[in-house]
Structure 1
Amino acid sequence: MTIEFPEPTRVAVNGVELEVFEAGRQNAGNPVVLCHGWPEHAFSWRYQVPALAAAGYHVIVPNQRGYGNSSRPADVTAYDITHLSGDLVALLDHYGYEDATFVGHDWGAFVVWGLALLHPDRVNGVVALSVPYQERGETPWIEAMEAGLGGDFYFVHFNRQPGVADAVFAENPFRFLRNLYRKNLPPVAPQPGNALINLARMETPPGEPVMSDSELAVFVSAFASTGFTGGINWYRNLDRNWRLLADVDPVIRQPTLMIYGDRDPVARAERLTTFVPNVDVVSLDCGHWIQQEKPQETTEVILTWLDQRSSTP
C-alpha cells in the first residue's frame, strides 16, 4: 500500500471479535469512529485516517461484523441494528470512552443513525455520507420498497431470494468490485433484472475507476476470503430493524453533518431537518463513493465541521 494505514488489532466486543485499525492514540480523549458501508472495508477511510490523527483525533476504524477479519456470525439476525450498534457501544467501552463522534458512509451511516437513536448518550456528534436519515414510516422498509420498486430491486432481492446474489458476487469478486467502484458514470436506461447482478457479470464496466489497482486489491482480497453474505445480511434485517425502532424517539438531537454526492443515485431526505434539526448539509461533486472519490474535499469538510464544533462555546 502506498498510503499510510495502520496495522489492525482484534478486539473482543459484544460477543464477537472486530478487526480494528487505530491511529492517533496519542490523542486519547478525542475519539472519532469511522464506519464503512457495503461492500466496503475499513480501508475505505484510508485518506481520512492520517489527516484526522494529525488534527488531534484518536481515530478508530473497525471492520464491522461480517467484514474483513472480523467475526461473521451464521445467524442472519446477528446483523440487526441492535447488534451492529451494540458492537460500537462495546468498542467505546473497550477504549474507555463515554461517547464519541461517529462517521458513517452508506450502510455505515444507517448504523450510525441507529446508534444515535438507540444509544444517544454514547454519540456526541454524527457525520453521515451518502445515506441520510431514513424515516420509519407506517410500512416496513422492504415491504415498501417491494411495492414501489419491485422484486428485482436489490434490497428486495437480497431478502426474497437469499443466497442468489451472494453466489453471483462471489463467482468473481474482482470483476464485481471493479465494476461497482466506478465514478463519472454515463446515464444508462434501466435494464430488466437485478441491476447489481447484471453489473457483476459485465465484462466492460462503465465510467472510470474510483481507486488504483493496488487499492482495489485490498477489497478484492478481503471479499475473496469472506464472501459477501455477512455484509448482505445487514440488508436482510431491514424490516427487523423497522420493528426494533418502533418505540424509539425518532429525532436525532446531536450535532450532525450530512454530506451528499451530487451524482449519487441515493435519494436525499426531503424532511431531513424534521428528524435531524441540528444538521449542516454539504454537497460534493461526486457519486456514491464520496470519501474515496473526493478524499481531500471530504476530509476538509469533516475537519472544518469538527473544528467549528470544538470552538463553539
Structure 2
Amino acid sequence: MTCLVKVFLVGKDFGASPAYLFSILHPERVLGVITLGVPYAPAPPGPSMLHKYLPEGFYMLRWKEPGRAEADFGRFDAKTVVRNVYILFSRSELPIANENQEIMDLVDPDTPLPSWFTEEDLSIYGALYEKSGFRTALQVPYRTVSDDLKLADTVVKVPTLLIMGGKDYVFKFPGIEDLIKSEKAKEFVPNLEVTFIPEGTHFVQEQFPEQVNQLILAFLAKNS
C-alpha cells in the first residue's frame, strides 16, 4: 500500500511561484502554502506589461536582458554585489536606473548595510556566490518569469499564508498593493490569510526571524 505524503510548502520571493504551481498541480499532496514578499498572480507580468507601466531602467527589465546584469555585476566582486542587493532591496522604492546607470550604480559605496544584516552574514553569502556565480539567480526568475505555463486551472485551493513587510518595495509594483490589501487576491486564492509586519522590508524573514517563525508555526498547527 502506498502512503501519500502531504507537505507544507514555503517560498520566498520568486520561490513563491513554484510553491503555488505545485499546489495547483498536486493539491492532494499539499497541506498548505506559505509565501513571503510575493502574492499569487495567475498571469505573471511579462516584459510588455512591465514596459507599459515602468521605465526601461527598472531592474527586472535590465536583468532580463541576457548579458546585461552579468556585465554590471562583473565590475565588482561577489561580496560587493550581495552587499548592493541587500541595500537596494531593503528600501521601499523600486530600483530604477537612468540611461547612464546600471543597477549596481544605484548604491553609494558609503551606504551602510541594513542594521540586521551583519558583515559576517555578508562574508558568508559573498563566499557562496563567489563559488556559484549569479547565472542561475538571474536565469531562473528574471528570464523565465513571464513563461506561459498554460494551466487549465489557475486557482490555489489549499490554505495559504502570505507574510508581507509593511515597507516592502513590492507594494510599488503596479496593482500589487490593491491586490494584497483588497479582496481581489481571494479570487485566485480563496483560503488566503495575509499578515503584515509593519516595519518589515522585502527581507522581513531576516529582520524579524522570531516573528516570522511564530507566524509559520501557528499556520502549520492550524492546518495540520
TM-score normalised according to structure 1 size = 0.60
User: What pairs up with 1:57-96 in 2 under 5 angstroms?
Assistant: none
Structure 2: any 5+ residue segments left out of the alignment?
172-176
2:121 to 187, 197, 215: 215
Q: Does 1:275 align with 2:182?
A: no
Find out whether 1:297 has 2:211 as its counterpart.
Answer: yes
Residue 229 of structure 1: aligned partner: 135
Q: Secondary structure at the match of 1:204?
A: coil
RMSD: 2.6
Cα offset for 1:121? 2.8
Aligned partners of 2:102, 2:191: CA distance in 1, in Å?
Answer: 36
Partner of 2:174: none
- Equivalence map 1:1-313=2 (5 Å): 98-136=5-43, 141-159=46-64, 161-170=65-74, 171-182=76-87, 185=91, 192-193=98-99, 196-199=103-106, 202-205=108-111, 208-234=114-140, 235-240=142-147, 243-244=148-149, 246-267=150-171, 268=177, 269-270=179-180, 271-284=184-197, 285-310=199-224
- Asked which structure has the greater RCO (Cα within 8 Å, sep 6+), the reply is 2
Secondary structure at 1:281 match in 2: strand
CA spacing shift, 1:119–1:157, aligned 2, 3 Å: farther
Distance 1:178 1:301, change over 3 A: same
- For 1:142 and 1:211, how far apart are their aligned partners in 2? 32
3-state DSSP of counterpart to 1:181: helix
Alpha carbons 1:151, 1:157 under 8 Å: kept: yes
The structure in which a higher percent of residues are strand is 1
Report the alpha carbon displacement of residue 211 of structure 1 after superposing the two structures with TM: 1.8
Aligned residues: 208
Q: The residue matched to 1:126 in structure 2 has which SS?
A: strand
Relative to structure 1, is the Cα distance of residues 172 and 294 closer, same or farther in structure 2, using a 3 angstrom cutoff?
Answer: same
Amino acid at match of 1:278: N
